[in-house]
Structure 1
Amino acid sequence: MHDDHHHHNHGHDDGHHHHGPNGHHDHPHAPGHNGPAGKPLQWQTPHLPDHTHEPPVDPATVDLDLVETAFLEGFARAPDPSSFLRLAGIPFVGEMADGVRLHLLRVETEDLVDVGAVMPLVGGSGVAYHPLPARLTSHRRRLAFIYHDGNEQKPLGFAAARALADRSAASQFTVSGH
């Protein structure tokens, strides 16, 4: 027990740091103490984690996806689906490049939610399965336009349906005589 030898002499100096009436309180945390340290880092998103295993995206595809999403949202609520289809540029009677005429029978939408990912293992023996964290789960909707080409039904995607030559006005929805 040699606590007795250490008499802390500076005990009486504490509390005498009054800077008099001139009021210069030099606080170490002056205004702006969250300066450089508090810089927002959110805008520097280098690579979003979910695009690591995908090929680079074509901007046109992204735009089409947005249009397709808007179509799906709107079509689900459209009071008049026929008008909505016309606005969206989906022909009721469409002609393919080879002259085959297609008649739109039905629009199919389907909700898809990705909740897991499978990666091929190196060496090609099997796969590794990863359940996706919530922020990476993705809700997608699949959209198909079911056309009939005179023989059978042909499901077309949004882009393909829009790419058809629109013959709706020409045929006026009458049965053509061939």
Structure 2
Amino acid sequence: MPHDIVNGHIGHHHHHPHDHNHSHDPDHLHSHLKPEDEAAELQVLATQFIDGFVHAADKTAYLRLAGVPFEKPGKGGETALKLVDVELKTDWQVGTASPSFGSRELSHLPYPGSMVQERTNMSLVYVSMDAKETVDIRNFIAERQHT
């Protein structure tokens, strides 16, 4: 047990329980991010995933290495859904709009050129004879992180 010498006296460190919403078993060594930090981390991971996919010489191999399922069960035990497309969508944020005080009109703030930001997102498209399901890559990554 560690000891501290304070004002000439040896003190002992004691573990005091602290209130959190999760248990502290000996294997509990991971940290917890604030929701806004988790969102930022997820965006970084998604951006890197998309960049890797775009530059991969073999797109199918990249998806397999990343653990993307090429088939998944349909809802309610229906026939399996098959991965058929990977969609990339790029948006350019050129401004913001927010509610104006005391008006139904939006307050619009266009960005100067240096503030315009590109946002690319990826979706995995699964189909069966009866259904189509689109999975946002950020949801796929988030589920992988929590398993």
Could you say which TM-score interval applies, normalised by the shorter chain? 0.5 to 0.7
Measured at CA, do residues 116 and 159 of structure 1 come closer, stay the same or move farther in structure 2, by a change above 3 Å? closer
Q: State the shift of 1:57 in Å.
A: 4.9
Take 2:77 and 2:39, find their aligned partners in 1: how far apart are those partners? 26
Structure 2 residue matching 1:58: 3-state secondary structure: helix
Are 2:98 and 2:107, in contact at CA under 8 Å, matched by a contact in 1?
A: yes
Q: State the shift of 1:161 in Å.
A: 3.8
Are 1:103 and 1:147, in contact at CA under 8 Å, matched by a contact in 2?
A: yes
Spell out structure 1 runs of 4+ moving beyond 6 A: none
Give the number of the structure whose alpha-carbon radius of gyration is greater: 1
Measured at CA, do residues 124 and 89 of structure 1 come closer, stay the same or move farther in structure 2, by a change above 3 Å? farther
Residue 87 (structure 2) aligns with: 108
Are 2:92 and 2:118, in contact at CA under 8 Å, matched by a contact in 1?
A: yes
Take 1:140 and 1:159, find their aligned partners in 2: how far apart are those partners? 13
The answer to whether 1:59 aligns with 2:43 is no
The answer to whether 1:139 aligns with 2:80 is no
Are 1:91 and 1:161, in contact at CA under 8 Å, matched by a contact in 2?
A: no
Structure 2: any 5+ residue segments left out of the alignment?
Answer: 1-33
Measured at CA, do residues 61 and 82 of structure 1 come closer, stay the same or move farther in structure 2, by a change above 3 Å? same
Structure 2 residue matching 1:123: 3-state secondary structure: coil
Opposite residue 109 of structure 1, the aligned amino acid is L
RMSD (Å), alpha carbons: 2.5
Opposite residue 82 of structure 1, the aligned amino acid is T
Measured at CA, do residues 129 and 96 of structure 1 come closer, stay the same or move farther in structure 2, by a change above 3 Å? same
Q: Deviations over 1:39-98 (max 9, x none)?
A: xxxxxxxxxxxxxxxxx8532222221111011111112111111111222111124786
Take 1:159 and 1:94, find their aligned partners in 2: how far apart are those partners? 18
Structure whose residues are more often strand by fraction? 2
Identity of aligned residues (%): 25
* Equivalent residue pairs, number: 109
Structure 1: any 5+ residue segments left out of the alignment?
Answer: 1-55, 165-178
Are 1:147 and 1:154, in contact at CA under 8 Å, matched by a contact in 2?
A: yes
1:27-66 → structure 2 map (5 Å cutoff): 57-66=35-44
